[in-house]
Structure 1
């Protein structure tokens, strides 16, 4: 069993008067892709945002690479090598694709200072990023914006990628392209925590899986085992994979 890069132990999160997470237990093995599944409103996005410090855990402990980050500020957490792609992608629409990438490459003041070999690798994963390099990011299609959002997250080496529903609203051909990119990232040893509603996406990519319901993790284990157990799928998700 791989060691755990990220663990959540008994994590509770309140947002205003609402108690959203009720003691989340989650382990993300190093070098694997962990799928976080569950019905809408189960607490998946809140879990991601709590890990990043965007919402503060009111109870429990979050440990990343042996360090307690429960009370750390979001910039400190990002500085440890965690990248986050939110569901809304968070791109700067008025900036060009190039300017978005330069902002994400914290060590670069201009595009020429981005690691050239890494940039060419990103272009090989997402040719649209190179094609529209000098275009305003707001003019891109939904799929192209998603490619840019993931490209920004990997423009520098990261220990952990946290991605919220990367296939949402995308055409099947673009989803296949995204799957290929994540497979390459996995091959490079990048650890990924991914929220996804596309079940075929989850089956093809996931190593481990955690299923949430009502603010807690109700199942954790092998993605392959869940994909092969229709009765378990129905009980956890109300559907068959």
Structure 2
């Protein structure tokens, strides 16, 4: 059987933050041209995994490869230049700058390439409407869209997104689902940390579950969706009730 085409690979990755041993031998793969969901309870090490991939925290052991090339020894700017973008949980936008200025700061070229900008406006129409408005005046969902737009204003191989639906209204979640599916169609590979299982079940191709700094499950999303008892054991959630609650809001 031919091997799967993986863009990102972690092998035995350990991360220490001060005296705390957060990641304890993390190994998993992110297939190309799809959405991989990284799930787990609070404190499992999911955000630390994204930050370690991005070089914001240095792996103390193990290997991280992008397209078969080692990146764990590189600085964050060098990793970014390899084609990885990161959208942190706090979004990282500049509230006092306009939407336009936020996007322009993320563009590597001196100007914004018109075709790509038009494509981003198609993904996130609100950004066109609020183009000259200070980013701090946007709603939470609009700020999340701006954060993703900043990450993709330049072509990227891999997009790391941390908790994109946190605090969003259901309508904004639906818009985000549409945008991420369109990014997948455009051959962007996405590694997504998320607590909302219903959200990721509609998007994900591949799923990895963490617990206490270790990987405890890896499968296709379809396989996990079909096993409610496994979802409850791994994630500690009554996923049917959670999905019902989302539809009722």
TM-score, normalised via structure 1 length: 0.96
Report what 1:65 is aligned to.
67
Query: Which residue, 223, 226, 229 being the options, matches 1:228?
Result: 226
1:191-202 matches, within 5 Å, as 191-202=189-200
SS of 2:160's partner is strand
SS of 1:19's partner is strand
The Cα RMSD (Å) is 0.9
Moved more, 133-142 or 49-58: 133-142
**1:6: Cα distance to partner?**
0.4
Once the two structures are superposed, what CA deviation does each residue of 1:75-117 show, in whole Å capped at 9, x if it has no partner?
0000001000000000011111001000111112xxxx21111
SS of 2:202's partner is helix
Query: Which residue, 16, 19, 24 being the options, matches 1:17?
Result: 19
Q: Paired residues, what number?
A: 237
Report what 2:135 is aligned to.
137
Report what 1:172 is aligned to.
170
Once the two structures are superposed, what CA deviation does each residue of 1:140-177 show, in whole Å capped at 9, x if it has no partner?
11111101001111111100000001111001111000
Once the two structures are superposed, what CA deviation does each residue of 1:13-66 show, in whole Å capped at 9, x if it has no partner?
000010000000110001110000000000000000000000000010000111
Superposition misfits of 4+ residues, deviation over 6 angstroms: none
Report what 2:244 is aligned to.
none
**1:2: Cα distance to partner?**
3.7
Q: Distance in 2 between matches of 1:142 and 1:233?
A: 29
Q: Distance in 2 between matches of 1:201 and 1:214?
A: 23
1:183 to 2:185 alignment: no
Query: Which residue, 70, 83, 94 being the options, matches 1:81?
Result: 83
Q: Distance in 2 between matches of 1:240 and 1:227?
A: 12
Q: Distance in 1 between matches of 2:83 and 2:205?
A: 21
Give 5+ residue unaligned stretches, structure 2.
240-249
Give 5+ residue unaligned stretches, structure 1.
none
Query: Which residue, 90, 93, 108 being the options, matches 2:92?
Result: 90
SS of 1:57's partner is coil
SS of 1:205's partner is coil
